[in-house]
């Protein structure tokens, strides 16, 4: 058996390596733009004073992008999902429920960021989720774009007249949904 002495390495600090975590929110111009965008987003999503079941907002881009929330649905019925984005050309928000034995099919709302997009959905008692659909992995340039979603139990009159089938309910349930702007 041969014995070879192991080289002894002493860890040294390399001054070219920065071990601090990234500081994604250091650009004051983008921070100011993001604050203006949030102000507009809140104005769009809180235009009606009715109480909400779920309300969530967050950044659409940059290293800390994304948002998502889950809320308990107290009773089955028609709910209005309203989503909006500000400062981007578009975004997608997914809304759905999981039902034992039923395929998982969240509904995606495509947003064009020129106002709000609403959809009436029929949901069952249980839990409802809503989240930003990210276009791909990795960081994106930070521009201050923001988006959000609100779910209320009040059905907008313009939406309820356009009812059709929804994928949020189990297959045996009768459903109604509509997309309106």
Residue 36: is its pLDDT beyond 90? yes
Q: What is the mean pLDDT of residues 88-102?
A: 86
Contacts of 125 (CB under 8 A, 6+ apart): 73, 74, 75, 76
Q: DSSP assignment of 49-75, as one string?
A: -S--SEEEEEESSSTT---EEEEEE-S
* The pLDDT value given to residue 65: 86
What topology is assigned to 50-180 in CATH? Jelly Rolls (2.60.120)
Q: Per-domain residue ranges for the chain?
A: 50-180
Q: Is 128 in contact with 96 (CB distance < 8 Å)? A: yes
C-alpha span between 41 and 80 (Å, rounded): 17
Q: What's the whole-number mean pLDDT along residues 55-66?
A: 89
Strand partners, 82: 118, 150
Q: According to DSSP H, which parts of 10-95 are helical?
A: 28-45
**For residue range 111-153, what is the model confidence (pLDDT) as tens digits?**
989 899 999 999 998 899 999 987 766 667 889 999 999 999 8
Quick one: tokens of 162? 């356009």
User: Using CA atoms, how far apart are residues 117 and 135, in angstroms rounded to an integer?
Assistant: 19
Name the pTM for this structure: 0.72
């Amino acid at each position: 058996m041969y014995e070879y002495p192991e080289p002894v390495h002493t860890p040294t600090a390399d001054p070219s390596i920065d071990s601090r975590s990234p500081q994604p929110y250091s650009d004051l111009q983008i921070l100011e733009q993001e604050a203006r965008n949030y102000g507009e987003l809140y104005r769009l999503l809180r235009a009606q004073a009715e109480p909400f079941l779920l309300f969530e907002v967050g950044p659409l881009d940059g290293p800390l992008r994304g948002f998502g929330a889950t809320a308990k649905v107290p009773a089955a019925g028609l709910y209005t999902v309203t989503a909006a984005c500000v400062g981007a050309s578009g975004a997608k928000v997914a809304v759905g429920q999981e039902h034992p034995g039923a395929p998982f099919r969240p509904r995606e709302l495509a947003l064009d960021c020129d106002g709000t997009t609403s959809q009436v959905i029929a949901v069952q008692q249980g839990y409802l989720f809503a989240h930003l659909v990210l276009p791909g992995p990795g960081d994106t340039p930070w521009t201050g774009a923001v988006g959000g979603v609100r779910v209320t139990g009040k059905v907008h009159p313009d939406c309820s007249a356009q009812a059709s089938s929804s994928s949020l309910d189990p297959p045996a349930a009768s459903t109604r949904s509509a997309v309106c702007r």
